[in-house]
Amino acid sequence: MKMERLQKAMAEAGVASRRASEKLIVEGHVKVNGKLVAELDTKVSSSDQVTVDGVPLEREQPEYYLLNKPRGVITSAHDERGRKTVVDILKEGGVTARIYPVGRLDYDTTGVLLLTNDGALANKLMHPSFEIEKTYVAKVKGLISNHDLEQLRHGVVIDGKRTKEANPKLLSVDKQHRVSIVRLTIHEGRYHQVKKMFKAVGHPVEKLTRESDGILNLKGLPGGQWRELKMDEINALKKL
């Protein structure tokens, strides 16, 4: 039976990062099979009963899914207002693990979204220091100029802070309907970042899709569909 360090098992179950789990252990919050443990070299297997402040650790096999998120669903595990969530989509397809989305896409944004129950990997990927490259395609109002593209490239101020260097590329313009299609690669994940960036240069977003998130992309995955990640994709994410 696979034995692993207690703090690793806690991080994998999504309790907290490995470092924060170590703190919980030494501060006396954690019991294994009913006995308080305060040592960091404790190893546990899946048959050991671990509790944190009396709450049992949910230890499932890690599962990883890629969803091409459709419009009109919430990026969350549940919604107080009863709206459909990305997790509902996978549940309808038979997934029973307690997965949740890694990062977020707006209600009306489509595209690449990773879902997993691997808390350690999720914590890692969401950490701002990773600066994972994300590519979006936006349909925006108006005709984008070279000057607008330069501004997007060098950074625009949103919420009082300049965005980091980005990579915009004009894909097409429709002069008749006065809209432009732009691909934009960014390395940050600030709240509503892409919509705010385009708004800052005077071109509000009408439609937004995330084409890729790091190594994950939409190839072969139609809108609203999902698939399990392949072993090489999981390994690549873990190696980051």
Label each residue of the chain as H, E or C: CCCEEHHHHHHHCCCCCHHHHHHHHHCCCEEECCEECCCCCCEECCCCCEEECCEECCCCCCCEEEEEECCCCECCCCCCCCCCEHHHHHHHCCCCCCCEECCCCCCCEEEEEEEECCHHHHHHHHCHHHCCCEEEEEEEECCCCHHHHHHHHHCCEECCEECCCCEEEEEEEECCCCEEEEEEEECCCCCCHHHHHHHHCCCCEEEEEEEEECCEECCCCCCCCEEECCHHHHHHHHHC
Active-site entry in 41, 106, 108, 213: 106
Does 57 participate in binding ligand URA (rule CB under 6 A)? no
Question: Which residue in the block uniquely carries the two structure tokens 């443990």?
Answer: 37
Of the candidate spans 58-66, 125-133, 188-196, 227-235, the one that interacts with ligand URA by CB under 6 A turns out to be 188-196
- Closest to ligand URA by CB, 56 vs 128, is 128
**Size of site (CB under 6 A) for ligand URA:** 8
Does 122 participate in binding ligand URA (rule CB under 6 A)? no
Is the separation of the CB atoms in 75 and 34 below 8 Å? Answer: no
Please indicate whether residue 148 is annotated as part of the active site. Answer: no
Of the candidate spans 21-29, 32-40, 143-151, 192-200, the one that interacts with ligand URA by CB under 6 A turns out to be 192-200
Does 183 participate in binding ligand URA (rule CB under 6 A)? no
Does 106 participate in binding ligand URA (rule CB under 6 A)? yes
- Closest to ligand URA by CB, 31 vs 199, is 199
- The token pair at 163 is 């965005």
CB of 196 to ligand URA, least distance (A): 6
- The token pair at 135 is 């590519």
Q: Which residue of 122, 194, 201, 229 would you call a contact of ligand URA, by CB under 6 A?
A: 194
CB of 82 to ligand URA, least distance (A): 21
Of the candidate spans 105-113, 123-131, 173-181, 213-221, the one that interacts with ligand URA by CB under 6 A turns out to be 105-113
Q: Which residue of 116, 135, 193, 209 would you call a contact of ligand URA, by CB under 6 A?
A: 193
Does 201 participate in binding ligand URA (rule CB under 6 A)? no
Report the first-to-last Cα separation within the chain, whole angstroms.
27
Does 195 participate in binding ligand URA (rule CB under 6 A)? yes
Q: Which residues are catalytic?
A: 106
List residues near ligand URA by CB under 6 A: 105-106, 109, 192-195, 208
